[in-house]
Amino acid sequence: MGKRLTPLAAVLLAFCLVLPPARAATTNQNGQIMIRVGLASSSKHVPTGELEAAHLENNNSAGYGFGYRFGYYDSGLNFVELARTDDKTIQVSVLKTQNLYYGTVNGKKTYSSSITSGTLVGCYHIRVPGTFGSFAQASAEAARYSGGFVAWIDGAYQVRAGSYASAEAASAALKSVSGGSVVWTSSYGMSVVKTGTSQILFQYDCGESGRLAIQPDVTGVGETRTWFQNYKYRGGFQYHRRGGGNITVVNVLPLEDYVNGVVCFEMGRNWPLEALKTQAVFARTYVLKNLGKHDSYGFDICGTASCQAYHGMGSGADNGPSEVSMRAVSETAGMVIRYNGKLAETVYSSSFGGASEDANNVWGTNTSTEHPYLRGVVDPYEADTNSINSHSSWTVRYTTAQLTQKLQGYGLGTGTSVDHLTLTYSDKGNVIQAVVHWANGQSNTVKASDIRSRFGVDSIRFTVNGVGDGGSAGPVTPPSGGGLYINGVQVPGSTDGMYVISGSGTVSPIDGAPYIITGGGSISKLPPSTGGGNQGGSTAPQPGNGTVTVSGSSYTFTGGGWGHQLGMSQFGAYAMANRGFTYEEIVKFYLPGVQVQQY
C-alpha cells in the first residue's frame, strides 16, 4: 500500500507508530482512506479475544500474495517496511515475547504458555554486538549465527540469536557469540516466527506505543488475501499488546475494500444490485461517521453487528463478496449520505414489519434538532419479501410464570409475579413503551430500546394476546394549518422527492400537500402493500396506536420485523429495488431529507 523504505542509514530516523487521531479519516499517500478493523481484542464487541499467538497464512495457492513484509504504519497509515521474508514463506505467527510452546490447545495447533511440546520459543536471547543501518546489513550479520534474527528495538536494528527459556540458559550459550550479551524485550515485545517452529524471523519492541505491522506479499501482486481465524482479508495487519498483555489484532485496509467486506455479510451477496448499492452507501457512511469508535482498543470499528458485520473476503468461494456485490461497491465508490452537509447516522435493520420508528421514541433523540431524517416511515414495500423473510412474522409465547422469570432475570419484580402489561404504541404502530405491573402493586417501565431484550422479541412491532391491532385504532385527525401530513403527523420540508403508488402499482411524484383519506372521509393510515411476494409468506398483524392493557394466564407476542426499527429496512430495500427504484430513491425514502454525495 505504501512505498517501501529505502535501506539507508536514514532509516534510523523512523519511529514507532504514532496513532492517527480518533474520529478523523486518515488518508494515505495514495489518496486512500484507511480503516482499522478489530479482529482480536479484549473489547466485548469482538468475538475473538486477545491472543498469545496470532497466525497468518498466505492465500498464495490462488495467487494472492507470497511472503511477508514486517514494519509499522506511520501516522498516515502508510506501511513502512523494516524487514521481509522470502517469497516461499507461507505461514507466520506473531507471538508475545514470553516462553511459548507449539502444540495442540483445544483441538487446534498454536503457541501457548502451556507446555504442549518440545518446540519452545523462549524469551531470552543473545545480542550480537554492533550497529546496523539497514535490514540488509543486519540480515547478513544474523545469517552468521545459529538461530540469528533481525530485531527492531526502540527505533533501531539489532541482531539477536537463539531463544532460551531462562537467562541462565542464554548465559551458558554466550560463548558462541563473541562480545555478546543476554537480552530480552519489554512486556510490549512481539516475535514473528515461522509457524510450527521455534525459528524467529523478526522481533519488534517499541514499548507501549509500539504497533507491529505485517503486509503480505513481497512480489508485488495486485491484491493480497490472507487467512486469519478462518477468513481471508485484504490489506495488512497491525499488532499490539494493550497494557502489556496478550495481542490485539487489527486489519488495516482501504475504505472501499472494507465496504466490500461488509455489504455481502450485512445483506445477501446476490441480492438486487440497487439494494446492494443502498447497503454500500449506508455502510460507507456509517464507518466514516464512526471512525475511532473503539480507539481505546486500538482500532476504528469492530467487525460485528455492534458496528457492522465484516469478515473480509469470506471463508470460501460461496461466502464473501460476489460479482454483483463488488459491482455495487464499485459503482457507488466514495458516495455517502449527508444531511445539511454532515454525515448522516446511517443505521439499518433487517426488516420493520410495516413501519420504522422515530429516533426520539427509541433513542430519546429530539428529531426536530438532531437526526431529523430518522423519523418513522410507513413501509408499503417490505411486505413484497414476506415469502423470503423468515422474520416477516413471528410469535413468542410465555406463561405468566415464564414471563415473570424472564423479566426477573433483568432485576425486575423481585418476589412477585406479572399481573398485567400496559403497552404504548406510536402513531406508526410500534411499541415505544411497556409498563410491567406486578401482583404486589409495583411496576417497572421498559423503554423502547430495551423492549426486545427484556421480552425476548425480534422487534418493537407486535401485539400481545391480539390486543392492540389496527382495528382498535380510531381515525387520526391532523392539526390545523398547511403542510404535508402523514398519519396525522406533520412532515418537515416539501414533497420534493416523494412518490405515491397507485392501486395498479404505478409510481408518480407527489405534488402539493396531500392527505390520505378513506372513502368515508376520515384520515387513516396507508395500508402496507400485499404484492405478489406475499404469496408464500405470512403477514404479521398491523398494530394501531395509543395505549392498551393486556393481562391473562399467558402472554402471546405476535409481530413482524427484526432489529431496532430505525433507518433502513434491508428487506424493504430488496423490495424497492425489485420494483425499479434506484439506490438514491431507496436512501431518500428511508431517510427523508438527506442528500447522496461524494465524500
pLDDT for residue 237 is more than 90? yes
Predicted confidence (pLDDT) at residue 571 exceeds the cutoff of 50: yes
pLDDT > 70? residue 3 = no
Rounded to whole angstroms, the Cα distance separating 134 from 150 reads 10
Distance (Å, whole) CA 59 – CA 314 = 12
Q: Which triple of cell numbers denotes residue 281?
A: 452507501
Q: Which three cell numbers stand for residue 596?
A: 447522496
Q: For residue 500, what pLDDT band results from cuts at 50, 70 and 90?
A: low
Neighbours of 296 (CB within 10 A): 10
| Contact between 501 and 452 (Cβ < 8 Å) | no
Band the pLDDT of 492: cuts 50, 70, 90: very low
Whole-Å CA distances, 556 to 219, 230, 465: 62, 41, 5
Q: What is the pLDDT of residues 204-213, one digit of tens each?
A: 999 999 999 9
As a whole number, mean pLDDT of residues 221-241 equals 97
**Residue showing cell 402493500:** 529
Question: Residue 388: which residues within 8 A CB-CB, separation 6 or more?
Answer: 533, 537, 571
pLDDT at position 225 over 90: yes
C-alpha 222/C-alpha 217 separation (Å) is 10
Strand partners, 544: none
Separation in Å, CA 396 to CA 405, 417, 450, 456, 549: 15, 19, 16, 8, 18
Question: Residue 150 to residues 193, 239, 271, 445: CA-CA distances in angstroms?
Answer: 12, 18, 49, 62
Res 369: pLDDT: 87
CB atoms within 10 A of CB 341: 7
DSSP 408-437: HTTT-STTS-EEEEEEEE-TTS-EEEEEEE
How far, in Å, CA of 41 to CA of 38, rounded?
A: 7
Mean pLDDT of 13-33: 65
- Write the CB contacts of 5 (distance below 8 Å, at least 6 apart in sequence): 11, 14, 71, 80, 81, 82
User: Distance between CA 157 and CA 310 in Å, rounded?
Assistant: 36
Distance (Å, whole) CA 192 – CA 525: 63
Phi, psi of 365 (to 5 degrees): -75, 140
**Model pTM greater than 0.75?**
yes
State the Cα–Cα distance between residues 254 and 29, nearest whole angstrom. Answer: 12
* Closest to 433 (Cα-Cα) out of 537, 545, 280, 295: 545
Task: Write the pLDDT tens digit of every residue in 107-160.
Answer: 999 999 999 999 999 999 999 999 899 999 999 999 999 999 999 999 999 999
Model confidence pLDDT, tens digit, residues 374-427:
999 999 999 999 999 999 999 999 999 999 999 999 999 989 999 999 999 999
Please give the average per-residue pLDDT across 85-104, as a whole number.
Answer: 97
pLDDT in tens, 510-546: 544 454 443 334 444 443 333 333 333 456 778 888 9
Instruction: State pLDDT tens for residues 239-285.
Output: 999 999 999 999 999 999 999 999 999 999 999 999 999 999 999 99
- State the pLDDT confidence band at 318, using cuts at 50, 70 and 90: confident
Calculate mean pLDDT across residues 22-45: 90
Q: How many residues does the chain have?
A: 599
Partners of residue 158 on adjacent β-strands? 151
Least confidently predicted of 21-25, 141-145, 318-322, 564-568: 21-25
Q: What is the grid cell recorded at 393? A: 412474522
- In this structure, of 17-21, 231-235, 242-246, the range with the lowest mean pLDDT score is 17-21
Q: Which of 498, 527, 529 is closest to 514 using CA atoms?
A: 498
The pLDDT value given to residue 300: 96
Integer-rounded Cα radius of gyration of the chain: 29
- What is the distance between the alpha carbons of residues 32 and 333, in angstroms, rounded to a whole number? 12
Q: Which of 452, 286, 479, 448 is nearest to 365 (CA)?
A: 448
What is the pLDDT of the chain when averaged over all its residues?
87
